[in-house]
Structure 1
Amino acid sequence: MLNSYLKATPPSKFILINDCLQEKGLPLVYNLNEHHQKLNNKVKCFVFEGNFTKISDVLTSHNIISYDFTKSKEITLDDIKKTFEKELTHDSVIIIDSLVHLIYLYGFDETCKLLNSLIREMKDGQQIITILHIDLLKNSKKTAKYLEHLATLSLTFDPRISRVNYTYKKIRGRVFKQIEAYKFEQGQFVTEVLKKQDVQELILEKINEVSPENLSTFKIGLSEADKKARDELTLPYLPKDSESAEGIIYNFDDEDDWDEEDPDDDLDL
C-alpha cells in the first residue's frame, strides 16, 4: 500500500521522510530516484548537509543535478528560493538533504514559509522529497508534527519492530493513516499491510488461554489415557447395560426402620 502512494501518478507533492540513526532514509530516497529515472523525470538534489554522507555523493552516477549549498555561507534564503523556483520545472523532482540543516541555517519559521510557498506553487508532476533527521532535533515531536501538516505524504520509521507509520493526504483532502511492516530487500523497499485480527476471535483466543491448569501448580485436567480409563470403569451402584445377577444385596437389620412412619414417633413429642 505505501509503495503505491510513494510511486503514485501524479506524484505526491511533498514527501517527508522522518529517519533516525538506526534506520536512515537514504535507501528509500535511492529507490524513489530509480523510480523517477525510469519515468525520465528530472531529479535535482539540494544539499545542506555537510558533515555526513551526502545523498548527492551516493547518487552521482544516476543522472541527477546537484546544488551544494554548504560550500558558501553567503547564500541567503532568497537565493535558495529563487533556485527552487527556477529548477522546479515540469516533471522535476527536488530532493532536500537534509531538512534539519536547512532549519539550523535559516530557522524553523523561515524554512516552513519557504516550503509552504513552494507547495502552493507546485503543479501536477512535480515533487519535493525531504529527509528529516529526528535524532538531530531538540523539539523533534513538535517540529515533525508541523512539517507533517505541510506534507502530503509523511512517514516515520520504527526500526525496533520494523514498522513504518505513514500519513497520506489524497488530492480531494481525504487523509489516510496506516502502519505497515517494512524491510529493505536487495536494495528494494518492501512493505506489507498488517492484518487486523477480528475482535471476537481475539476474545475467544484469550478465553481459551485461561485454563484451570495454568492457574495451578498441580495437575487438574485429565489426559486422554485418564479419560479412557475413567470411561471403562464400571461402578457397582450404577445400572449396567447388560442384565446380570450380580449386584449389591443389602439385608435389613432388625433395628432398621424403613417404613414411612414418623421417625420421631418414639420420642413422645
Structure 2
Amino acid sequence: MTLFKLKAAPIILIEDDTNKNILPLLLNIVQQEKSELKMFCFEQPETLWKPVLKTHMNVIFYEDFCTEEYNKYINTKCTVVIDSLNQMCFSIGWNECLRCLKRLYIDPNVNKLVMVLHTDCLPFPKLQLNLNHFACAVVSYDSPDSNKIKVKLKKGGKLERSEEILTYDYKLGLLKCVPVVKESKKDDEPEKPLPANLTTFKIEVDQTEKLEKYKLKLPYMSKINEGESKVFYEPDAVDDWDEEDPDEDLDI
C-alpha cells in the first residue's frame, strides 16, 4: 500500500547517502510511467544511467539545466528525475535551483518530479529542511539498515509516517515493501496503584488478623446449634409490656 501511495505522489524526495542503493526504489517509481522520462544527470553521467533505464523506452538525458532554456527541456508531458540536488545546487546555485523546482512543480507538463538528495554531503544547511517542506513524499534510508526506509506522505493537509522494509527480487525485478510493526513495551507501562496505597488508614487484613477474627466467639453463637439457627430472647425486668393499642390515640 505504501508503494502505491508513493507512486501517486507528484513530488518525491529520496534521501540517501553513499552506502545506499536507491535504484530498485527509483526504478519501481518510474518504470510504469508512460510519458517521457527526462533525466538530469548532474552527478552520474549518461553512460551509467542508460543501461539502468534500458526498460524505459522514452528517456532523454541532460547534463545541465539552463533556466533561460527551460522550454527546451519541458515541452511535452514527462516525468522528471534529478540526480542529484546536491550537484544541481553546486552547478546553478541554491536560489536558482529552488526557482527551477517551483517552476517544475506548477508546470502542467510535469506528471511527476523525483529528486535525489545525498544527506551525507549537504551543500547548504537548510537545503534538506526546505526540500522536506516542498516534497509531497519523502523517503529516508535508515543509517544502520540499508533495507529499512522511513516514509512521510502528505495528502489533504495530513501527514502519514511509516517505517518499511524493502525486499528486491533481482530475478523477477519485483520490489516489495513490508511495514514495520512496533511492539508495545509493557515493561514501561506504569503499575496500577493498590487500593491500600490510596488511603491514609489501613483497609486490608493480614493473615494473623484473619485468624484472630475466626477465633472470636460472640455471645449469641453459644445458642446456635449445628444445622439450624434459632433466636432466643429473654425479657429483662425493666421491659415495659403494654398490651394496649399503641396507636389508639390516632384517628386512623
Which category describes the TM-score, using the shorter chain as reference length?
A: 0.5 to 0.7
State the distance in 2 between where 1:136 and 1:34 align.
28
Could you say which residue in structure 1 is the equivalent of 2:247?
none
State the distance in 2 between where 1:137 and 1:57 align.
28
Could you say which residue in structure 2 is the equivalent of 1:179?
163
1:54/1:97 contact within 8 Å kept: no
1:113 aligns with 2:102: no
Identify if the C-alpha distance between structure 1 residues 82 and 136 changes in structure 2 by more than 3 Å, giving closer, same or farther. Answer: farther
Q: How far does residue 65 in structure 1 lie from its aligned partner after superposition?
A: 2.1
State the distance in 2 between where 1:35 and 1:26 align.
15
Could you say which residue in structure 2 is the equivalent of 1:58?
52
1:45/1:64 contact within 8 Å kept: no
Q: Which amino acid aligns with 2:58?
A: I
Could you say which residue in structure 2 is the equivalent of 1:136?
121
2:75 to 59, 68, 86: 86
State the distance in 1 between where 2:187 and 2:86 align.
43
In our comparison, the structure showing a higher alpha carbon Rg is: 2
> Structure 1, residues 59-86: CA drift from partner, whole Å, max 9, x if none?
135213223225xxxx63222x323431
Q: How far does residue 130 in structure 1 lie from its aligned partner after superposition?
A: 1.5
Q: How far does residue 150 in structure 1 lie from its aligned partner after superposition?
A: 0.7
Give secondary structure in 2 for the equivalent of 1:136.
coil
User: Which 5+ residue runs of structure 2 have no aligned equivalent?
Assistant: 192-252
Aligned alpha-carbon RMSD (Å):
2.8
2:38/2:60 contact within 8 Å kept: yes
State the distance in 1 between where 2:45 and 2:107 align.
32
State the distance in 1 between where 2:169 and 2:143 align.
15
Say which structure is richer in helix: 1
User: Which 5+ residue runs of structure 1 have no aligned equivalent?
Assistant: 208-269
Could you say which residue in structure 2 is the equivalent of 1:35?
32
State the distance in 1 between where 2:99 and 2:13 align.
16
Could you say which residue in structure 2 is the equivalent of 1:68?
62
Q: Percentage identity across aligned positions?
A: 22
1:100 to 86, 111, 115: 86
State the distance in 2 between where 1:24 and 1:52 align.
18
Could you say which residue in structure 2 is the equivalent of 1:6?
6
TM-score for the superposition, normalised by structure 1: 0.60
Could you say which residue in structure 2 is the equivalent of 1:147?
131
